[in-house]
Amino acid sequence: MSLAAEAFVSQMAAAEPWPENATLYQPLKEDQILLSDCASSLAVQAYLRMCGLPVQVVCRANAEYMSPSGKIPFIHVGNQVVSELGPIVQFTRAKGHSLSDGLDDVQRAEMKAYMELVNNMLLTAELYIQWCDDATAAEISRPRYGSPYSWPLGSILAYQKKWEVRRKMNAIGWGGKSLEQVYEDVSQCCQALSQRLGTQPYFFNKQPTELDALVFGHLFTILTTRLTSSELAERIKSFSNLLSFCRRIEQTYFEDRSS
Amino acid sequence: MAAPAELFCWEGDWGLPSVSTDCLVVLAYAQFAGAPLKLRRTSSPWRSPSGCLPALRTEQRETLSRPADIIIHLRKQKYNADFDLSAKEGADSLAFISLMEEKLVPALIYAFWIEPKNYVDVTRRWYAEHMPFPLNFFMPGRMQRQQLEKLRLLRGDETLEAGDELEKELFRDAAECMNLLSQRLGSHKFFFGDSPSSLDAYVFGHLAPVLKSRLPNSKLQQHLKTLDNLSGFCCNILLLYFPRDGRDASSQKTAPQPDGGADFDHVPHKRRKQFLSALVALGAMLSYALLTGMVSIQHVQQGALEDEPAHLQPLGEHEDEGDG
């Protein structure tokens, strides 16, 4: 989104309250969505639930192409479309809903830093495992990614995506990493998150913030998704406070609504 | 230990021990940890064992290139600048390093390699002047294409080009990142306690080039200068850990500015270039001579001892045949 448009959106957003018919778009949940997209989508849903903003989840096969930034998920609120967690957090703040107002400057700096840690290591590791591990790419990612399309198009799009991700991995220096090193990075990232969380209920004490939503989205998705190898989930399971953190958020924000 | 580990780095300038962010990170970490590395400053990536800079050739003749790998290797050799950190501080370092990689690195790539005026006036010029002869023609351009490709992949935009809107967006992220770092640093001397750690090395490596370079479009530098504690932090590390480079800069500062106009006279490897260009010219003349019928003279010379006119005639006929 351009800056001028962004400034305009935040002005517009301040004027209008949150509508009842807000929608969140993501790819088809059963046959199409991949681990990394699912994690990002769950993070946004958790964030909106923490804010107490109702949103209806809609699955579309072409969600990736509908999104203004090409990334998943995006929300459609009133007459505005916003994609990805960062911009969505700014958007809701403009509407007067924020989770991080109670933090001081240093805490806010730390929160942003930890959010980038999750994006930089967990999300990249998910992408690596999805597309650069040959077994996972062949058995899960490629068939699922191309599933809504008929034969040649599905494979072409899947291969295109795979090459794009691999080029990105080479550009950021992950191209030469082995799968074992990537798991090691995931462990390191979880170790850092676990240390930061300690025995607190949320990362910044009693109140959840967008960091909690992001961490929950990624960890919960990794724990509940079946891949060719369960190594990734096993790495997270060795941190008991992160597991209880996921369970806590699931119970507080997801279970009471469905029951 | 058979041979000491060797570290290959880009040359320094602008009062910095090296011009490249990655090299600065490694150099600063090695200084902080007191690792005894044999430093080789070069201006040719082909001199490095891995073909890119920085590169560390370890005692076991392995070659490491990523700053993170080099730091891990040094840590394993017991040169650990993070020894005093608590587990939580270690976690914070990791988080702030990620923050810089996500928010600051794209803006740095843009400022040094993509912004047209900065690239042409400073970056390309610096690399072209410092690289040895054949490399200086194509390496800067190739490096720029690599950086552009990297920025495109990082942003997920295949057709990304330099422009005001992109610049504003990237610089806004970078400014926010600097503000966050400044808030985290507060009034301390280093990020954690009294001694520098790997996070200090990363912050120094990323911010010192912004602070010390003289780019025509210096918005990032202007913003960094408003954050007194952060710019003071960089100068402080330069003074404490790289005192020689700082002094070089002050002595150099007086030198290049008076003869700024006579910059073209100063060409590195002048003799070699003159010799090579003479060689190329000679080669061109010779091949031209060989291709345009001068070959026939050699035939004439072979037979010259016997009877010149008799031999010239058939040759002339031969040429006519060729023409016809």
Q: Taking CA atoms, what residue in B is nearest to A121?
A: B98
Least confident of A48-52, B25-29, B291-295: B291-295
Instruction: Give the pLDDT of residue B84.
Output: 81
Among residues A65, A94, A123, which one ends one of the domains?
A94
Average pLDDT over residues B42-47: 79
Instruction: List chain A pLDDT tens, one digit each, 259 residues.
Output: 555 566 666 666 666 788 888 899 998 888 888 999 999 999 999 999 998 888 899 998 888 888 888 888 899 988 889 988 988 998 888 888 888 888 888 888 889 899 999 998 999 999 999 999 888 888 989 889 888 888 899 899 999 999 989 988 988 888 888 889 999 999 989 999 998 888 888 988 788 999 999 999 999 999 998 888 888 888 899 999 999 999 999 998 887 654 4
Statement to judge: residues A237 and A162 lie in one domain: yes
Residue for token pair 């990304």: B160
Q: What token pair was written down for A147? A: 């599933």
Number of domains in chain A: 2
Q: Taking the CA of residue A221 as centre, how many other CA atoms within 13 Å lie in the half-sphere pointing to its CB? A: 24
Statement to judge: residues A207 and A254 lie in one domain: yes
Instruction: Give the pLDDT of residue B263.
Output: 43
Q: Which helix (H) or strand (E) holds A76?
A: strand A74-77
Q: Is residue A248 part of a domain?
A: yes
Q: Is residue A17 part of a domain?
A: yes
The residues on B that touch A, with CB distances below 8 Å, are 66, 87-88, 90-92, 94-96, 98-99, 101-103, 149-150, 153-154, 156, 165, 168-169, 172, 176, 179-181, 183-184, 186
Q: How does pLDDT run across B211-262, given as a tens digit for each residue?
A: 888 888 888 899 999 989 888 998 988 888 888 765 555 444 433 333 333 3
- β-strands B38-42, B6-10: how paired? parallel
Q: Taking CA atoms, what residue in A is nearest to B167?
A: A3
Give the C-alpha separation, B243 to B256, whole Å.
20
Q: Taking CA atoms, what residue in A is nearest to B86?
A: A195
Q: Is residue A100 part of a domain?
A: no
Statement to judge: residues A47 and A89 lie in one domain: yes
Judging contacts by C-beta atoms under 8 Å, the chain A residues touching residue B179 are 109
Statement to judge: residues A113 and A89 lie in one domain: no
Statement to judge: residues A37 and A129 lie in one domain: no
Among residues A45, A62, A94, which one ends one of the domains?
A94
Greater confidence (B179 vs B246) lies with B179
Q: Say yes or no: A65 contacts chain B, CB-CB below 8 A.
A: no
Q: Is residue A99 part of a domain?
A: no
Spatial CB neighbours of A168, under 8 Å, sequence gap ≥ 6: A127, B153, B154
Statement to judge: residues A135 and A237 lie in one domain: yes
Q: Say yes or no: A114 contacts chain B, CB-CB below 8 A.
A: yes
Closest approach of A257 to chain B, Cα-based (Å): 33
Statement to judge: residues A81 and A50 lie in one domain: yes
Interface A–B counts its CB contacts (< 8 A) at 80
Beta bridge partners of B38: B6
Q: Which of B98, B149, B168 sits opposite A121 (nearest CB)?
A: B98
CATH code, domain carrying A146: 1.20.1050.10
Statement to judge: residues A136 and A219 lie in one domain: yes
Query: Is the model's pLDDT at B319 over the cut of 50?
Result: no
Query: Is the model's pLDDT at B281 over the cut of 60?
Result: yes
Q: How does pLDDT run across B84-103, given as a tens digit for each residue?
A: 888 888 888 889 999 998 88
Statement to judge: residues A183 and A124 lie in one domain: yes
Strands (E), B11-144: 38-42, 55-57, 63-64
Q: Taking CA atoms, what residue in B is nearest to A122?
A: B98
Give the C-alpha separation, A65 to A81, whole Å.
13
φ and ψ at A59, to 5 degrees? -100, 130
φ and ψ at B52, to 5 degrees? -140, 165
Instruction: Give the pLDDT of residue A115.
Output: 92
From B9, B5, B26, select the one nearest B72 (Cα to Cα). B26
Q: Is residue A222 part of a domain?
A: yes
Cβ separation A192–B172 shorter than 8 A: no
Statement to judge: residues A119 and A78 lie in one domain: no
Statement to judge: residues A119 and A200 lie in one domain: yes
CATH code, domain carrying A73: 3.40.30.10
Give the C-alpha separation, A15 to A9, whole Å.
10
Give the C-alpha separation, A127 to A163, whole Å.
12
Among residues A35, A59, A94, which one ends one of the domains?
A94
Domain of residue A215 covers 105-258
Statement to judge: residues A228 and A116 lie in one domain: yes
Query: Is the model's pLDDT at B132 over the cut of 90?
Result: no
SS3 A24: strand
Tell me the CA distances in angstroms from B209 to B18, B23, B107, B121, one per residue in order. Answer: 9, 11, 13, 16
